Structure 1
């Protein structure tokens, strides 16, 4: 008798949290239920008042003509009054209890999160030292004793190079095994910068800068300002915005992996000479349009600003919450595309997507009230972007994809909020792929391959809701507008 082998079930590489499964959503549900109970209690109170009013309005003659019936009616009215009144009181009591419980749970959850973060920070130095010690021991064991070559110096240099590579490999493995080390290291770095700001350290005089602030955004802004005093990170020239392509007519059905992959493609098309922004209009079967704007990540890390604006300067400005020439340039590209399509800005919804710096810029634009007043920003999709500190309004939904081994999304030192408008996806490295270094986990194309797993067939409610909400951005007839942004 033939048997059919069932293919083995594989563990999903990505884990989804937040949104409708967030603790904030649970607290909101509790408070919403309490409000409904209050409303129902009010209705019961009104009914009770109505029943009493009916009893009082019974004519006296009916009681004289039929005293038995009048007595029964009075008893029933009294019973109804007591039951309705008791029901109203119970509903009010349960509503208050739900509100108190929601507040208590919320405080307990916040306290627990702070406690875990404090434990992580407190133990980071010990874990870091142990990781370095373990890496050193393993590197020594893995590195072969130098062989006799032409010279002793060449032997020692070869041995040192091999030892250094093995040490770096072991340190990377330890960080992969304990990703929270990055969060703790960022927190300790902030502490030392804050401590430096309260001491008279000569290095600040070299920069000619005032003491650095203690908050994260302020510290990044201080670094940006200090560098600009030395002629670095300059961003004082507006960008030219030039349309270099238009591709109309294709009808496509996309998934989340396609959106993340297109953000990677946008980054790869950008260089140190210019940045590329893709603005796509999708028209559904109902004739309604929606826009997807892909913003590139960092293309170069030069201290001095080159022609390409997706640079170190833009990175620091967006992380610090400061103005960047990228923001108005992206707005100009969107306005030009909408004008050519015959669409008034603000009349059709917009989704931003970007990898790394592109995701930070997307989140900053979504958080900007003036920008949202002009463009109807509804969705943001980021990959490998540290956006946990950016205060994005509840009217904008955010989906963030992160690699568990990627240190970049953790660079702001806080996890993404567990909120109703934030869907957080944390992925392992795609199956069959090996990381040669920690920064390999930040690769834009690898993020696209990880996101391919996030298909509509996934069982998570958050992803089901994302697809149901965003079909207008995914399915329809495309018109792609390509713009080049350049600093002259």
Structure 2
């Protein structure tokens, strides 16, 4: 299969490495402009990268202006080259192995059927790659045009030229993300949903997206030792939670956050809610899916429930032992589809309500960052018998979910966060948008040089919520005011 490609794997790899090398060379020339790095969450772009989630580095976009040279980096070029390398390598290896097995089969009909499937999946993948390239071209073009257009307008309006030039990387990222959304919204043919369906169908044929159910327990799991200064030291759920708790305090500039005797954060506003999102991600890591249920007694013998759902912690395209993996990312973006992670979240809620003797119509808030927010939106669109009154998300594309008008929606979206735009559609209501917040733990000029992995961060969204008028809104009193009990459900795939 590889021989038929116009550009082979080695050449694509060289292109990827060359772009990264260029970035490494160029950035020292402009000390105040840093690389825009990427982490796994950018590659929630299952819709952008067929069957893969590649850890991308950075590519460089350079622009000469009258006042000097500013380097604004974007990982988009490296993402497309690296992801094409990986997806074709994965497909090529899988097909080669299958072909070797089929060669031993004498039945010509079976062999013929196999070849037909190979032709179909190859054609689908090439077509998907063409659509992805068009989307990224839109992102790059919009990013370049919008960046210098906005920069020039700011200078004309009287802003300090030096300050504006330092903002070039963030301006580029903001406009590139807008272009990304526009490109996704204009995918030809069957559109966004058709591309997503193709990726899922072809990936499933290659053995990906095996969304096995999660087994849940409230028993504290065994956590592997962690490495500190080259030495392995014991780790635990409590230690992980405490490290995350202290990191959130530093990010928010607080001396303390409410927590229970086990160190689990008790949300009293949106900021502490998203600090809790950061904590469950840290607690579960790549070992377990930590689904947190927070019960609040808002009136005598009347309970409300917050369901906190973790974000993506495992980015390899094969299905992981945890439920918050790449498989869940891809499948959660399909409308009307429940995933193993969402099913586990419903099960955890039902168990908690049963144990508390709560009324079946007790009010429910679904909340999450990134994949947690996508899953919350999907669940709210399909609540079943649950009384879902609130959905609160951060950095999550939920615009395509048909959430009932009776359900309150609050969706935090920071400028330049690509993940929040990955469905190619604006949220119809409840969006709290604005520039990414500066963490209290950040200082110096480098704090303004934020890449996708920096912006798409639960603690940064907690900080953004802290400065929002929605932070302590009375609409959340049922969930934030009253005696609380926290139960963590730990899940692994069966």
Q: Is contact 1:139–1:166 with CA below 8 Å preserved after alignment?
A: no
What TM-score do you get using the length of structure 2 for normalisation?
0.55
Q: Distance in 2 between matches of 1:217 and 1:398?
A: 23
Matched, 1:226 2:241: no
Q: Is contact 2:184–2:192 with CA below 8 Å preserved after alignment?
A: no
Q: Rg: which structure is higher?
A: 1
1:353-368 matches, cutoff 5 A: 353-368=367-382
**1:404-437 CA deviation, whole Å, 9 max, x = no partner?**
12111112222221x4xx2434343326642452
238 and 215 in structure 1: CA distance in 2 versus 1, 3 angstrom threshold: same
Shift of 1:438: 2.6
Q: Distance in 2 between matches of 1:319 and 1:276?
A: 21
**1:15-43 CA deviation, whole Å, 9 max, x = no partner?**
xxxxxxxxxxxxxxxxxxxxxxxxxxxxx
Give the match's secondary structure for 1:284.
strand
Matched, 1:336 2:331: no
Q: Distance in 2 between matches of 1:251 and 1:259?
A: 8
Instruction: Show the counterpart of 1:485.
Output: 491
1:33-44 matches, cutoff 5 A: none
Instruction: Show the counterpart of 2:178.
Output: 183
List gaps (5 residues or longer) in structure 1.
1-131, 145-162, 195-212
Q: Is contact 1:261–1:448 with CA below 8 Å preserved after alignment?
A: yes
Question: Over aligned residue pairs, what C-alpha RMSD do you find?
Answer: 3.3
Choose from 392, 406, 409 the match for 1:381. 392
Q: Distance in 1 between matches of 2:474 and 2:311?
A: 28
Give the match's secondary structure for 1:277.
strand
Matched, 1:142 2:117: no
Q: Distance in 1 between matches of 2:385 and 2:217?
A: 21
Q: Is contact 2:302–2:358 with CA below 8 Å preserved after alignment?
A: no
Q: Distance in 2 between matches of 1:307 and 1:228?
A: 17
Q: Distance in 1 between matches of 2:339 and 2:439?
A: 38
**Greater RCO structure (CA 8 Å; 6+ sep):** 1
Choose from 322, 326, 329 the match for 1:308. 322
Q: Is contact 1:301–1:312 with CA below 8 Å preserved after alignment?
A: yes
1:8-407 matches, cutoff 5 A: 139=26, 142=29, 170-172=72-74, 174=168, 176-178=170-172, 179-188=174-183, 191=186, 194=188, 214-235=190-211, 237-244=212-219, 254-321=268-335, 322-344=337-359, 346-368=360-382, 372-407=383-418
143 and 278 in structure 1: CA distance in 2 versus 1, 3 angstrom threshold: closer
Q: Is contact 1:385–1:409 with CA below 8 Å preserved after alignment?
A: yes
Q: Which has the higher helix share?
A: 1
Instruction: Show the counterpart of 1:154.
Output: none
Runs of 4+ in 1 over 6 A off after TM superposition: 163-166, 245-253
Instruction: Show the counterpart of 2:146.
Output: none
Matched, 1:428 2:439: no
Q: Is contact 1:221–1:316 with CA below 8 Å preserved after alignment?
A: no
Shift of 1:484: 0.7
Q: Is contact 2:296–2:304 with CA below 8 Å preserved after alignment?
A: yes
Give the match's secondary structure for 2:426.
coil
**1:380-399 CA deviation, whole Å, 9 max, x = no partner?**
11011111221211011110
Shift of 1:376: 0.8
Q: Is contact 2:184–2:423 with CA below 8 Å preserved after alignment?
A: no
Q: Is contact 1:143–1:166 with CA below 8 Å preserved after alignment?
A: no
**1:214-234 CA deviation, whole Å, 9 max, x = no partner?**
232332122112111111121
**1:143-182 CA deviation, whole Å, 9 max, x = no partner?**
79xxxxxxxxxxxxxxxxxx96796951356452141322
Matched, 1:441 2:417: no
Instruction: Show the counterpart of 1:92.
Output: none
